[in-house]
Amino acid sequence: MLKVIGLNHNTAPVEVRERFAFDAEQGARVLAELTRGRETEAVLLSTCNRTEVYLGLPENDSAEGAIELLAEHAAITPAEAHDYLYTFDERAGVEHLFRVVSSLDSMILGEPQIQGQVKAAYERAVAAGSNGTRVVGPLLSRLFQHALAVGGKVRSETYLGTGAASIPSAAVELARKIYGSLRGLTAFVIGAGEMSELSLECLLGEGVGGTVVASRTEERARALATRMGAGFARFEDFARQLRLADIVVSATAAPHAIITRDLVQRALPDGPDHPMLIVDIALPRDVEKQVGELPNVFLYDVDDLRQIVDDNLERRQKEIPKAERIVLSAVQEFWAWHSARDAVPLIRELRGRAERVRAAEVERALRRLRHLPVEDQAAVEALTRQLLNKVLHAPTTRLREAASGTRALDVMDIARYLFELDRAEPTDTEDGAE
């Protein structure tokens, strides 16, 4: 039984999502707790915008243990956790994961990071199994491999992920138009808030080296630089960092401009000897408009970037129906496989009983045919096996097909009745009487 429990940017504000976030070590402990001594599979997906637990549970098992673990981690009661959590069962859980990995359920439609985050979550769960314990079994293994293929197909067959869809990614898109490749360039990020962090992530993802963070709140700037693997500069070193930077991104909460034409001219009296991109994503603006009049300086503010984002999002919106069709087709394909698994025990039981009947009848016949050479007796054995396989081929194929239909249980109940699998096997005496 598949069950998904989680919360995301639609159900919980950021201050709540932060409490439910797991690092790698915490996630490994939760996975071990969920699967210890139980026939349960589990994968934990934790990003800045969502925390979700994917469970493969024995039939009629409860997922309350997972909810209690999530609530305990967030230091709230299970009842309080229910206010933010959603639950998807079975096929709805499959569709949810396929939408997540395709970025149809993301805060930013088409964002590319989620594919890698889902893959990493799955790989961490696989690696968490040790000393004979299993965290990921056949259900979640097949589900996540299928999901990653779906995400790849959506990205390769639609334009859902093309073009910048956030202010920081739009800034990077502009930088690529000016410089081409960003590898080897230097960047100066001013501010230590969410937009600065997103900008850093985008710049580092493009291979920008020598990235430095500065903020009036030195502690926050140091923490951000350490977390993102960037350099740190004191705010007093502002002018020197301007001279070194190819790209400047400013996202502070200052009530007035902190980069003025006069400041840039004093820092670069001869002007920059190379193109300098200054991206102002603060409101109110951090950079005086006149800075953009300086030679070799390209200045863009949040309105310029938002126009790029709006145009790209409009194109992405048009791709949603195509992406949805890919997802729904993949859900049907996966669910057919999943449902067919329900027929496996019945098919195994049918074939097992038929084989026992065949073996008993062959043994009885060969007792009367002891005069046959050994090779002829072997031929009788082989012939009866071939006949049994041919007779059972169509019923077992149809049972697998029927298992994925809407009346699967009815069909399997009828099969049990027709082949007397709802009764104990007859003894030799009963068989002889019949």
- For the annotated catalytic residues, the residue numbers are 48
Please, where are the H alpha helices in 36-112? 64-74, 78-82, 91-101
Determine contact, residues 296/274, Cβ cutoff 8 Å: yes
Q: How far apart are CA 17 and CA 197, in angstroms?
A: 17
The rounded distance, in Å, linking the Cα atoms of 122 and 119 is 5
Distances (CA, A) of 406 to 311, 339, 341, 409, 411: 43, 10, 15, 8, 10
The answer to whether 71 and 56 have CB atoms below 8 angstroms apart is no
CA nearest to 166, candidates 100, 108, 101, 106: 108
Identify any residues that bridge with 108 across adjacent strands, giving them in sequence order.
Answer: none
Alpha helices in 180-244 (DSSP H): 194-205, 218-228, 238-244
The answer, yes or no, to whether the previous bond of 321 is cis (omega within 30 of 0) is no
- Rg of the chain on CA atoms, in Å: 31
The β-bridge relationship of strands 276-280 and 86-89 is unpaired
Q: Which of 129, 160, 123 is nearest to 145 (CA)?
A: 123
CB-side exposure of 192: number of CA atoms within 13 Å? 21
